[in-house]
Amino acid sequence: MKEMIKSLVTEYESKLLDTRHHLHENPELSFQEYKTAEYIRENLKNMGIELQEGISGTSTVGILKGSEPGPCIAFRADIDALPVEENNDLPYKSKTPGIMHACGHDTHVACLLTLADILSSHKELVKGTVKFVFQAAEEKLPGGAKQLCADGVMNDIDVIFGMHCSSGYPMGIVEVCHAVSSAAIGVYEIKIHGKGGHGSSPHNALNPVPVACMVANSLNQILAEKKDPTACGVFTVSYINGGQYPNIITDTVTMGGNVRTLDNDLILRVFDTINAVTKGICEGYGLTCEVTTTVGYPATVNTPRYADVIQEAATAMEYEVIEKATALGGEDFAYYVMEKPGAFFHVGMADPERPITSTPHHNGQFILDERGLRIALETEIAVYLKATGQM
């Protein structure tokens, strides 16, 4: 099977790279991926792949049915780019000023489109049904995955897999987690309302600035009190804005930040405490406040059984598999695995001999070694064959 997979990828490698180059040259922001969606849909139609009806916005779901019974297995690729100016000198550099595929979503789409091409041309490999989920807006809340789930994309899916390129690991490394792959994210904002006045007469005003400082200090204690001391999490007060002049006491201060944990329930408990602590301090000093809390993406909890499938498939392809270290980045793939089993994995695409390929994601100089694309595609094929009992 390994040699067959490598042979297939070699046959389609030129198309894989051409697809990636087209997407990289033509990036589009979250919820605005109109031409990207058109390109994806046209390619799927040319492959004879049915498009699922009832899908909102710029997301697209292709459906490929085999001649033999089997499970419905889905693969997801996110399709949006970032508001980042590209600073790379590439023949396929972004043609859109201020927008770039600075996270590698172009590689995800290229791999999934090529996977669809291979399986539609080799239907003897399709056992049951394959869904190719091209998801809009992973980079911007509320995320495209949440809407796709509301559209019913997961209703008939038995298991879903997601792949992400990584400049943090060299080619040949596949990273998978058997527990929590990405963090739950919470965002909060607080407006503290007092009474403005002259700096010479603070007794005639209600100054929200020192009260905001007290709130900030108190909020920073919440996570230490609420989470298991052995668990992972971070609470950040990211900004405090209010006032401009030394002799004017402002009437309002705005502050906010984010909470990240590996526990979806903990986010909600922290939010409750933010509300209680902020209102208590403000009321004690005669001020009022407005507290807004938003759950961003939940934690992505991989199903261990399907993390094993990824590990075994990548190992069969003779790639090194490592367990993902705990990290607090967010990923809206979480919504899919809250509904059905599945797992998310990363594929290294850095060349240690070329330090530029290790540039962090979301950077204008982000660049990957394209030899990593075939590794990602080989792994996706192997995961599919393993999940359907063919490997």
317-334 core/surface letters (b: 16 or more CB in 10 A; e: else): bebebeebeeebebbbbb
Round to whole Å and give the CA distance between 174 and 366. Answer: 20
Is there a contact between 222 and 277 (Cβ–Cβ < 8 Å)? yes
Q: What is the CATH architecture of 184-295?
A: 2-Layer Sandwich (3.30)
Q: Where are the domains of the chain?
A: 2-182+299-387, 184-295
- Of 169, 188, 297, 335, the catalytic one is 297
- pLDDT score of 325: 85
Q: Tell me whether residue 370 is one of the annotated catalytic residues.
A: yes
Token couple for 83: 């508001």
2-182+299-387 CATH pick, 1.10.10.10, 3.40.50.300, 3.40.630.10, 3.10.100.10: 3.40.630.10
- Of 86, 370, 378, 380, the catalytic one is 370
Reference 85, options 62, 102, 105, 104; nearest CA is 102
Domains 2-182+299-387 and 184-295 share a fold: no
Quick one: which H or E segment has residue 73? strand 68-78
Reference 209, options 245, 262, 171, 174; nearest CA is 245
pLDDT tens over the chain, length 391 residues = 999 999 999 999 999 999 999 999 999 999 999 999 999 999 999 999 999 999 999 999 999 999 889 999 999 999 999 999 999 999 999 999 999 999 999 999 999 999 999 999 999 999 999 999 999 999 999 999 999 999 999 999 999 999 999 999 999 999 999 999 999 999 999 999 999 999 999 999 999 999 999 999 999 999 989 998 888 899 999 999 999 999 999 999 999 999 999 998 999 999 999 999 999 999 999 999 999 999 899 999 999 999 999 999 999 999 999 999 888 999 999 999 999 999 999 999 999 999 999 999 999 999 999 999 999 999 999 999 999 999 9
